[in-house]
Amino acid sequence: MATEVKVPTLGESVTEASIGELLKNVGDAVAVDEPIVSLETDKVAVEAPSPVAGVIKEFKVAVGDTVEVGAVLAIIDEGGTAAAAPAAEPKAAAPDAGVEKTAPAQAKEALGSDASQTLSPAVRRAVLEHGVDPSTIKGTGKDGRLTKEDVIAAAQAKTSSPAPAQAASAPTPAAAATGERREERVKMTRMRQTIAKRLKSAQDTAALLTTFNDVDMSAVIESRERYKDLFAKKHDIKLGFMSYFAKAACLALKDIPGVNAQIDGDEIVYHDYVDISVAVSAPNGLVVPVVRDADSKSFAQIEKDIADFGKRAKEGTLTMEDMKDGTFTISNGGVFGGLMSTPIINPPQSAVLGLHRIEDRPVVRNGEIVIRPMMYIALSYDHRLIDGREAVTALKIIKEAIEDPTRMLIDL
């Protein structure tokens, strides 16, 4: 019996998506609820599972297609059997049978094996481009699936390792073709298109301004070092810097409510709660899941929420509900080595806190020049709603709370 696999409900106000990857091939056997198609929406990637066990008879879509909720993605032959792989025919020994195969040849041969049938088109293309054997790479995707990032990492590791002298003496076709210039056109994902539109809209609509300060991280680093083992033992989560900044931001937003507000038409909407959007890097772009009621949560719960978001962002399992609303955003460019930046607000929010890398710098303390671990912090804000005095004061409160964490305990 033939069963249709349709585009599932994608979330509130989301009516269409793009086909990101076909996770199976025609003729593959699938189990109940096994994902067969990856869909990209404006905010997240979701997977369409098979409603029955059977064999994929036909795909009705291709990678890059735009589909609406309820559209047919594939036909499953319920109770069917997977197509058997053709038996290998005996081959006579080739004249160069004793010569080791090149990396591209090995990659093509590996792609032709049964073990590669679960590879997505993007991963197959990366395997061929980088000339790696997918069977030798451990997948980090959902259910151990191989991702494009896995292939690229394996290729980089292969390049950095010393190659045999014989292989090094034989130039590759790419190396032989001197002066070759290449370019590749790749269609923007739906998420990247949405990010581009929203960020440009923020620039066109809001009166953006950024104020800076620097923070002495000595006290936070000291308290983290002192309690990190006890914290991890009790809460089963590492104590990071983000929870400190989240709680410090809560102090500032309570004292300066305009920084936690937003403009709606000709009205200002103030919030008596703090829902912090945390910028997280995902394979398809930057996403901002929300730590709700951060002002009433403990350090441990904030760390658990952020760790969970980071894990699910890499797996592509964040939902629309995870990223709805939010009253303020924290973006940590320091994890990538950024020294200073002017972060852009996440509409309709009115402010975003940018964190940067920590580095030892000379500063003056009690009339003496000393070395301290310093971080630049930046607050970008919508000047239509937030005055400079309010922005500078909010950033100063965050600075003081980080330099003296006791303030966060006594709400000062």
- Does residue 350 have a pLDDT over 90? yes
- Where does 100-210 have alpha helices with state H? 103-111, 121-130, 148-160, 165-169, 173-176, 190-205
* Domain shared by 380 and 288, yes or no: yes
Which one of the listed residues 214, 387, 404, 411 is annotated catalytic? 387
- Give the closest residue to 52 by CA, choosing from 2, 118, 117: 2
**Each residue of 358-382: pLDDT tens digit?**
999 999 999 999 999 999 999 999 9
Phi, psi (deg, nearest 5) at residue 38: -100, 125
Which residue(s) pair with 353 in the sheet? Answer: 330, 379
Question: Counting Cβ atoms within 10 Å, is residue 12 exposed (0-12), middle (13-18) or buried (19+)?
Answer: exposed
Annotated active-site residue 383? The verdict is yes
Which one of the listed residues 322, 383, 404, 411 is annotated catalytic? 383
* Domain shared by 336 and 299, yes or no: yes
* Domain shared by 232 and 376, yes or no: yes
Read off the CATH number of the domain in which 51 is found: 2.40.50.100
* Domain shared by 211 and 355, yes or no: yes
Residue 219, pLDDT score = 94
* Domain shared by 332 and 275, yes or no: yes
Residue 388, pLDDT score = 93
* Domain shared by 308 and 366, yes or no: yes
Read off the CATH number of the domain in which 363 is found: 3.30.559.10
Amino acid at 315: E
Annotated active-site residue 96? The verdict is no
* Domain shared by 61 and 110, yes or no: no
- Do 64 and 19 meet the contact criterion of CB atoms below 8 Å apart? yes
Look at residue 84 and tell me if it is in a domain. Answer: no
**Each residue of 204-219: pLDDT tens digit?**
888 999 999 999 999 9
Domain count, the chain: 3
The pLDDT-based confidence of 99 (bands split at 50, 70, 90) is very low
The pLDDT-based confidence of 256 (bands split at 50, 70, 90) is very high
Amino acid at 362: P
Highest mean pLDDT among 30-39, 85-94, 160-169, 386-395: 386-395
* Domain shared by 18 and 107, yes or no: no
Q: What is the residue-averaged pLDDT of the chain?
A: 80
158: left (phi over 0), alpha (psi -120 to 50) or beta: alpha
Question: Counting Cβ atoms within 10 Å, is residue 108 exposed (0-12), middle (13-18) or buried (19+)?
Answer: middle
Mean pLDDT across 224-240: 92
The pLDDT-based confidence of 336 (bands split at 50, 70, 90) is confident
* Domain shared by 243 and 327, yes or no: yes
Look at residue 44 and tell me if it is in a domain. Answer: yes
Q: Looking at residue 75, what DSSP letter applies?
A: E
Which is more confidently placed, 45 or 6?
Answer: 6
- Does residue 222 have a pLDDT over 50? yes
- Does residue 100 have a pLDDT over 90? no
* Domain shared by 158 and 11, yes or no: no
* Domain shared by 121 and 260, yes or no: no
- Give the closest residue to 217 by CA, choosing from 330, 363, 338, 117: 363
Read off the CATH number of the domain in which 134 is found: 4.10.320.10
Cis peptide bond N-terminal to 348, omega within 30:
yes
Range of the domain at 261: 205-409
Residue 116, pLDDT score = 42
Angstrom CA distances, 294 to 120, 286, 297, 305, 409, stand at 38, 21, 5, 10, 14
Mean pLDDT across 316-341: 85
DSSP 356-412: EEEEEEEEEETTEEEEEEEEEEEEEEETTTS-HHHHHHHHHHHHHHHHSTHHHHTT-
* Domain shared by 306 and 385, yes or no: yes
Residue 244, pLDDT score = 94
Domain boundary among 78, 93, 112: 78
Residue 249, pLDDT score = 95
Which is more confidently placed, 253 or 76?
Answer: 253
- Which residues lie below 8 Å from residue 348, measured CB to CB, with a gap of 6+? 262, 263, 264
Q: Looking at residue 44, what DSSP letter applies?
A: -
Look at residue 199 and tell me if it is in a domain. Answer: no
**Each residue of 36-94: pLDDT tens digit?**
888 777 666 677 888 888 888 888 888 878 888 888 888 888 766 655 544 444 444 44
Look at residue 111 and tell me if it is in a domain. Answer: yes
Q: Can you tell me the distance from the alpha carbon of 137 to that of 144, in angstroms, rounded to the nearest whole number?
A: 10
Look at residue 83 and tell me if it is in a domain. Answer: no
- Does residue 105 have a pLDDT over 70? no
Q: Can you tell me the distance from the alpha carbon of 205 to that of 352, in angstroms, rounded to the nearest whole number?
A: 16
- Which residues lie below 8 Å from residue 226, measured CB to CB, with a gap of 6+? none
This prediction has a pTM of 0.63
